[in-house]
Amino acid sequence: MQGDIPPQVQNQLRQYQETQQKLQSLLTQKQQMDMQVNELDRTVTALEDLTGDTPVYRNVGRVLVAVDEPGELKDELEEEKETLEVRLESVERQEEGLRDRLETLQDTLQNLLGEGPQGPA
Protein backbone atom coordinates (compact mmCIF):
# COMPACT_ATOMS: atom_id res chain seq x y z
CA MET A 1 0.00 0.00 0.00
CA GLN A 2 2.86 2.38 0.79
CA GLY A 3 4.14 1.86 -2.75
CA ASP A 4 0.97 3.57 -3.99
CA ILE A 5 1.74 6.73 -2.02
CA PRO A 6 4.23 9.12 -3.64
CA PRO A 7 7.44 9.73 -1.63
CA GLN A 8 6.62 13.42 -1.20
CA VAL A 9 3.27 12.56 0.42
CA GLN A 10 4.92 9.90 2.61
CA ASN A 11 7.44 12.49 3.77
CA GLN A 12 4.73 15.04 4.56
CA LEU A 13 2.70 12.41 6.44
CA ARG A 14 5.77 11.45 8.50
CA GLN A 15 6.44 15.11 9.34
CA TYR A 16 2.78 15.60 10.26
CA GLN A 17 2.81 12.59 12.60
CA GLU A 18 6.10 13.66 14.22
CA THR A 19 4.76 17.16 14.77
CA GLN A 20 1.57 15.76 16.31
CA GLN A 21 3.66 13.68 18.70
CA LYS A 22 5.80 16.67 19.65
CA LEU A 23 2.68 18.74 20.28
CA GLN A 24 1.13 16.01 22.45
CA SER A 25 4.32 15.74 24.49
CA LEU A 26 4.47 19.50 24.87
CA LEU A 27 0.82 19.66 25.98
CA THR A 28 1.52 17.05 28.66
CA GLN A 29 4.51 19.07 29.84
CA LYS A 30 2.41 22.24 29.84
CA GLN A 31 -0.31 20.58 31.91
CA GLN A 32 2.25 19.43 34.48
CA MET A 33 3.74 22.91 34.67
CA ASP A 34 0.28 24.45 35.11
CA MET A 35 -0.37 22.11 38.02
CA GLN A 36 2.99 23.02 39.59
CA VAL A 37 2.27 26.75 39.28
CA ASN A 38 -1.15 26.26 40.89
CA GLU A 39 0.35 24.21 43.71
CA LEU A 40 3.03 26.82 44.35
CA ASP A 41 0.39 29.54 44.33
CA ARG A 42 -1.71 27.67 46.92
CA THR A 43 1.37 27.06 49.07
CA VAL A 44 2.41 30.72 49.01
CA THR A 45 -1.14 31.76 49.89
CA ALA A 46 -1.18 29.29 52.79
CA LEU A 47 2.15 30.66 54.07
CA GLU A 48 0.75 34.20 53.94
CA ASP A 49 -2.22 33.15 56.06
CA LEU A 50 -0.13 31.59 58.85
CA THR A 51 0.21 33.16 62.26
CA GLY A 52 3.69 33.85 63.58
CA ASP A 53 3.85 30.86 65.92
CA THR A 54 2.64 28.19 63.46
CA PRO A 55 5.41 25.68 62.72
CA VAL A 56 6.27 25.26 59.04
CA TYR A 57 7.99 22.24 57.53
CA ARG A 58 9.65 21.66 54.20
CA ASN A 59 9.68 18.32 52.41
CA VAL A 60 13.29 17.28 51.78
CA GLY A 61 13.27 13.90 50.10
CA ARG A 62 11.39 11.60 52.45
CA VAL A 63 11.88 13.79 55.51
CA LEU A 64 10.04 16.87 56.76
CA VAL A 65 12.43 19.51 58.06
CA ALA A 66 11.37 22.45 60.24
CA VAL A 67 11.73 25.84 58.58
CA ASP A 68 13.17 28.59 60.79
CA GLU A 69 12.07 31.45 58.55
CA PRO A 70 8.73 30.87 56.79
CA GLY A 71 9.15 34.23 55.05
CA GLU A 72 12.31 33.02 53.34
CA LEU A 73 10.55 29.85 52.25
CA LYS A 74 7.69 31.94 50.88
CA ASP A 75 10.17 34.08 48.92
CA GLU A 76 11.86 30.96 47.51
CA LEU A 77 8.54 29.52 46.43
CA GLU A 78 7.47 32.78 44.81
CA GLU A 79 10.75 32.87 42.88
CA GLU A 80 10.28 29.24 41.82
CA LYS A 81 6.74 30.07 40.67
CA GLU A 82 7.97 33.05 38.63
CA THR A 83 10.66 30.92 36.98
CA LEU A 84 8.10 28.26 36.16
CA GLU A 85 5.73 30.86 34.69
CA VAL A 86 8.50 32.09 32.38
CA ARG A 87 9.15 28.51 31.25
CA LEU A 88 5.41 28.06 30.77
CA GLU A 89 5.31 31.10 28.46
CA SER A 90 8.10 29.54 26.41
CA VAL A 91 6.18 26.27 26.18
CA GLU A 92 3.09 28.17 25.05
CA ARG A 93 5.11 29.84 22.27
CA GLN A 94 6.41 26.41 21.22
CA GLU A 95 2.84 25.11 21.24
CA GLU A 96 1.74 27.93 18.96
CA GLY A 97 4.60 27.19 16.57
CA LEU A 98 3.77 23.49 16.46
CA ARG A 99 0.09 24.21 15.85
CA ASP A 100 1.04 26.52 12.97
CA ARG A 101 3.36 23.84 11.58
CA LEU A 102 0.59 21.23 11.78
CA GLU A 103 -1.79 23.53 9.91
CA THR A 104 0.80 24.14 7.19
CA LEU A 105 1.53 20.42 6.86
CA GLN A 106 -2.18 19.63 6.71
CA ASP A 107 -2.70 22.19 3.95
CA THR A 108 0.27 20.78 2.03
CA LEU A 109 -1.04 17.24 2.39
CA GLN A 110 -4.50 18.24 1.21
CA ASN A 111 -3.00 19.97 -1.81
CA LEU A 112 -0.77 16.98 -2.63
CA LEU A 113 -3.61 14.52 -2.26
CA GLY A 114 -6.00 16.74 -4.17
CA GLU A 115 -3.57 16.99 -7.09
CA GLY A 116 -2.85 13.26 -7.19
CA PRO A 117 -4.31 10.96 -9.83
CA GLN A 118 -7.95 10.25 -9.25
CA GLY A 119 -8.80 6.60 -9.64
CA PRO A 120 -12.29 5.10 -9.87
CA ALA A 121 -14.33 5.45 -6.69
DSSP state, 3?
A: G
Task: List the chain domain ranges.
Answer: 2-112
pLDDT in tens, 1-29: 556 888 888 999 999 999 999 999 999 99
Looking at the whole model, is its pTM more than 0.85?
Answer: no
pLDDT, one tens digit per residue, over 65-104 is: 999 988 899 999 999 999 999 999 999 999 999 999 999 9
What is the architecture, at CATH level 2, of domain 2-112?
Orthogonal Bundle (1.10)
pLDDT for position 50? 87
In the chain the first and final C-alpha atoms are separated, in Å, by 17
